[in-house]
């Protein structure tokens, strides 16, 4: 079952990504983990596209790639600004949003 392997790979990638988002202090590493999560989802889309023999999923994956690029662009810009203001990109020091 080829498709199941794709899905398992996607689940593993997703878990690594989630772990990275939760456990990493470095903002750049968190961003990269978010990318991993996105990529796992894309892998799912392509896999289901293969299973259902439809082009829709692959098309959707192209959109996700574009959005991921934009998201990383915005994220890196924010990280850059945070670094300029604080000379640090450690996320646990950024707690101004504490309620």
Partner 1 sequence: MGVNTIPSGWFLENAWLIALIPAIGFAAIIAFGKKLPMKGSEIGLASITASLVISVGAAVQWIQRTNFVDETTEGYVEPVIKTWTWWQSGGVEFGLGQHIDGLAVLLLLLVAFISLLVQIFSLEYLRGDRRYTHFFAALTLFSSGMLVMVLAENMVQIILGWELMGLCSFLLIGHWWEDGANSRAALKAFFTVRVGDVGLLVGTAIVFFGAHQWAVDNLDSHGFSVQAISAWALSGDASSSALLWGSVALFIAAIGKSGQFPLHTWLPDAMAGPTPVSSLLHSSTMVVAGVFLVARLYPLFWEGLSIGPGAINLIAIIGVITLIVAALLAFVQNDIKKVLAYSTVSQLGYMMLGLGTGAWLPAVFHIFTHAFFKCALFLCAGSVSHSGSHHSFDMKKDMGGLARKMPITAGTWIISTLALAGIFPLSGFFSKDEIIANVGYNGYNLFMWLAFLGAFMTAAYMARATYLTFFGTPRGAAAGEHHDEHHGDDAHGDDAHGDDAHGDDAHADAHAEHHGSHGPHESGPLILVPIVVLTFLASIAGFTNAVPFGENFEILKRYVEPRAEVVAIEDTRLTIAGGPGQSVGSLAPQAKYDDACGFAAPPEGTVCLFPAVSHAPFKWSKGFLALGIVGAGLVSSWLFSVALYTRRDRRLVGLTERFAPARWGYQFLWNKYYLDHLYEKVIVRAVAYPIAASAYWFNQKVLDRIVDTAGTSTRQAGEFVYRNIDQTLVDGAVNASGFVASETGHALQPVQSGKVNQYGALLFGAAAVAAIVLVIINV
> Contact with partner 1 (CB under 8 A): which of 2, 16, 18, 35?
18
> What is the DSSP code string of 48-83?
HHHHHT-SHHHHHHHHHHHHHHHHHHHHHHHHHHHH
Q: Which is nearer to partner 1, 35 or 58 (CB)?
A: 35
Task: Give the nearest distance from C-beta 98 to partner 1 in angstroms.
Answer: 3
85 binds partner 1 (CB under 8 A): no
The closest alpha carbon to 45, from 63, 62, 57, belongs to 57
Where on the chain is the footprint of partner 1 (CB under 8 A)?
Answer: 18, 21-25, 27, 30, 91-92, 94-99
């Amino acid at each position: 079952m080829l498709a199941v392997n794709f899905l398992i790979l996607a689940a593993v990638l997703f878990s690594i990504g989630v772990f990275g988002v939760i456990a990493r202090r470095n903002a750049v590493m968190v961003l990269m983990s978010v990318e991993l999560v996105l990529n796992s989802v894309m892998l799912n889309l392509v896999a289901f596209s293969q299973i259902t023999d439809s082009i829709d999923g692959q098309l959707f994956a192209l959109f996700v790639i574009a959005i991921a690029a934009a998201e990383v662009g915005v994220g890196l810009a924010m990280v850059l600004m945070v670094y300029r203001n604080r000379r640090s990109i450690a996320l646990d020091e950024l707690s101004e949003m504490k309620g």
